[in-house]
Structure 1
Amino acid sequence: MIQRKIPSAEEAEKLKALGLAVINKEAEAVAALAGRINGNFAQACCHMLACEGRIVVTGMGKSGHIGGKIAATLASTGSPAFFVHPGEANHGDLGMITGKDVVLAMSNSGETAELLTILPIIKRLGVPLIALTGNPASNLAREADVHIDISVAHEACPLNLAPTSSTTATLAMGDALAVALLEARGFTELDFARSHPGGSLGRRLLLHISDIMHTGSEVPVVREQAQLRDALIEMTNKGLGMTAVVDARGRLTGIYTDGDLRRTLDREIDIHGCRVRDVMHTGCKTATPDMLAAQALQIMQENKINALLIVDRQQRLTGAINMHDLLRAGVV
């Protein structure tokens, strides 16, 4: 069994100080980017907004890892993008770039050999080249149509060698580009949900009441003239904690719930001789099948109810839903 080493108080303070120094250095690097949100940044955004193809992100080493994340962020926020490894581009993957694309290349030094090798092909295609580098005098920066400076004063690594502050700055600038494009395109929550159907936001925004509501024989329902005891049996059998009350034409006229039963007992009403129409709750909250499940949740929360009846435009009962259904669907 491996013994866990518990640091002494002195060691713990030293480790915390080292960690804090890294956070502070990287925060300074990101803060310095504010002055680089300038005309070049706006021009880069214009190129990407006008792109009829894809934004092709490329970078080597740590910049490549950051580039993969930036490409994913762009793609999920309305700007179609993908990542191409510059090493693989030199061996065939360059064919993935078309004349309708925009290339976003990143290199802290601006002298990455694999990127410089493919520059002539990018130039021959005539596609806009946007470069994110830490060296405005570099070959990549000079050859780019637009250069954005992501230089940092010092890496967070005490040796000033491991890409730390520089990769954080690159990532932050990539996020700035992606979010600026998102806003400029009028990208909405619904658009985001469409590209994230498996996530919780996708479930909240794309799932309709009709997808999860109880229908047919699963819906507890009695006629207005039914005895209250019959309504209680229906509630027990269907297990939704309530029953709908309808008229002869199937139109909703009220609801009777577990809470109504407690109030009925408090009033000492004879549940064997009473009709449900005499004790039901009228003017109950309803929803329609085409509404989003998230809207059903909002109605329930605002009115402090646990179930909702679903009706069509003629107020005919079509289904029912309760909080458990929303929980199971991942809406809550």
Structure 2
Amino acid sequence: MTQASELIQSAQRTLRLEIEAVESLLPRISDAFVRACELILACKGRVVVVGMGKSGHIGKKIAATLASTGTTSFFVHPAEASHGDMGMITRDDVVLALSNSGSTAEIITLLPLIKRLGITLISMTGNPDSPLAKAAAANLDAGVTQEACPLNLAPTSSTTAALVLGDALAIALLEARGFTAEDFAFSHPGGALGRRLLLKVENVMHAGDSLPLVRRGTTLRDALLEMTRKGLGMTVIVENDGKLAGIFTDGDLRRTLDKGIDVRNAIIDEVMTPHGRTARAEMLAAEALKIMEDHKINALVVVDAADQPVGALNMHDLLRAGVM
């Protein structure tokens, strides 16, 4: 067997063992998981995650995921907690303690103080009979039968299981809280994700004199001149009362030409798309993008509560804004 083959087999074995570890969690999502969720939902403070070593690294990720999905959370190193950082934890908080063995000395040392302060304790362990699991109001069983490490020593399958269980907890809480995309946006204001989630249609739409607009009864020739002047590849058509009547795009022009319609004498009413899909100015730009993608269109009219056009945008606007 070549070295390449051995490397591939090793990687595949690791993946199989970690997949098995994750699948083994499914029947354990039961009463204890529900209890843990209920305790966190009832919490008036924060979820304080603690863990040593590799469990600490997983704990930091779980704390970050909780914090970004509507559950205020942060990580405290248990060794530092014994030397002053315990003051960061209040009686209103919930402590989520991670330990595969359930007997990590630095965490066990904190248990008397956690109990004395009356702080709610949730554990995530690989041993439901461990001191930590027995001390907790709810224990999340993240145990695995075998580490992916061939020596069965390095935390591999066990840390993957804990990470996945933490994600399951965070998402269950997110859904229970009715956490929205806009709520998520305020936790992610930076970079491409922030632009995608915080940018609103009103920030990218063409409005005022930049909005291509004609009224019903306008000749197609004049509508095309309006499209050329505004350079948006479309024009909005309105009723006499200012409400949206339809939209005419470059695509509609191609279809008009295919039908052999005389563009010099046609009226816009004859060739426009009646009304069309719309967006609202206060809508997230990402929502407008989804409307375009779902309906396979490249432009949207932005209307107010009275269905009067106040702006328009196209795919290029969203691309320039970094929403795509």
TM-score, normalization: structure 1?
0.82
**Are the counterparts in 2 of residues 240 and 322 from structure 1 also a CA contact under 8 Å?**
yes
Segments of 5+ residues of structure 2 without an aligned counterpart are none
Q: Does the 8 Å contact 1:224/1:275 carry over to 2? A: no
Match of 1:61 in 2: 53
Q: Which residue of 1 aligns with 2:275?
A: 284
**Residues 18 and 255 of structure 1: CA distance in aligned 2, closer, same or farther (over 3 Å):** closer
Instruction: Show CA shifts across 1:122-161 (max 9, x none).
Output: 1221111222223344333343333333333222111222
Counterpart in 1 of 2:17? 25
Contact 2:220 2:263 in 1 (8 A): no
Residues 9-40 of structure 1: CA deviation (Å, up to 9, x unaligned): 72111111111222222233333333433433
Q: Which amino acid aligns with 1:269?
A: D
The amino acid of 1:239's aligned partner reads G
Alpha-carbon separation, structure 1, partners of 2:123 and 2:154: 21
Q: 1:84 aligns with which of 60, 76, 81?
A: 76
- Which string of whole-angstrom CA distances, capped at 9 and with x for unpartnered residues, describes residues 183-233 of structure 1? 333434444344334576765565432222101121123455656544333
- Write out aligned runs for 1:22-171 (5 A): 22-171=14-163
Hey, what's the Cα distance between the residues in 1 that align with 2:162 and 2:213?
A: 60
Q: Distance in 1 between matches of 2:151 and 2:19?
A: 18
Question: Highest CA radius of gyration, 1 or 2?
Answer: 1
One-letter amino acid of the structure 1 residue matched with residue 29 of structure 2: I
1:5 match: none
Evaluate the alpha carbon distance shift between residue 325 and residue 53 of structure 1 in structure 2; reply closer, same or farther with a 3 A threshold. same
User: Displacement of 1:92 after TM fit?
Assistant: 1.5
Q: CA RMSD in A?
A: 3.1
Which AA in structure 2 matches 1:101?
D
Decide whether aligned partners of structure 1 residues 45 and 17 sit closer, same or farther in structure 2, where only a CA change above 3 A counts.
same
What's 1:269 paired with?
Answer: 262
> Matched residues in 1 for 2:272 and 2:80: separation?
69
- 1:184 corresponds, among 150, 163, 176, to 176
Bigger shift: residues 298-307 or 146-155: 298-307
Contact 1:206 1:292 in 2 (8 A): yes
* Matched-pair contact (CA < 8 Å) for 1:247–1:253: yes
Q: Distance in 2 between matches of 1:166 and 1:307?
A: 49
The verdict on how the C-alpha distance between 1:302 and 1:73 changes in structure 2, with shifts beyond 3 A counting, is closer
Q: Given the superposition, is the C-alpha separation of residues 20 and 235 from structure 1 closer, same or farther in structure 2, using an over 3 Å criterion?
A: same
Q: Output the TM-score relative to the length of structure 2.
A: 0.84
Is contact 1:154-1:165 (8 Å) kept? yes
Residue aligning to 2:250: 258
Could you say which residue in structure 2 is the equivalent of 1:306?
Answer: 298
Partner Cα separation in structure 2 for residue 169 and residue 11 of structure 1:
30
Q: 1:220 to 1:66 in 2, by over 3 A?
A: same
Equivalent positions of 1:312-323 (< 5 A) are 312-323=304-315
What SS does the aligned partner of 2:2 have?
helix
8 Å CA contact 1:235–1:242 kept in 2: the answer is: yes
Question: Does the residue aligned with 1:151 lie in a helix, a strand or coil?
Answer: coil
What is the CA–CA distance in structure 2 between the aligned matches of 1:313 and 1:41, rounded to whole Å? 44
Structure 1 stretches of 4+ moved >6 Å: 199-202
Equivalent-residue separation in structure 2 for 1:32 and 1:268 (angstroms): 65
- In the alignment, is residue 328 of structure 1 matched against residue 320 of structure 2? yes
- Tell me by how many angstroms 1:100 deviates: 0.4
Q: Quick check: 74-83 or 179-188, which moved more?
A: 179-188
Where structure 1 has 5 or more consecutive residues not aligned to the other structure, the ranges are 1-8
CA 1:36/1:291 → structure 2, altered by over 3 Å: closer, same or farther? closer
Q: How does 1:227-238 map to 2 (within 5 A)?
A: 228-238=220-230
Change (3 A) 1:125 1:321: same
Aligned CA distance change for structure 1 residues 103 and 260 (closer, same or farther; 3 Å): closer
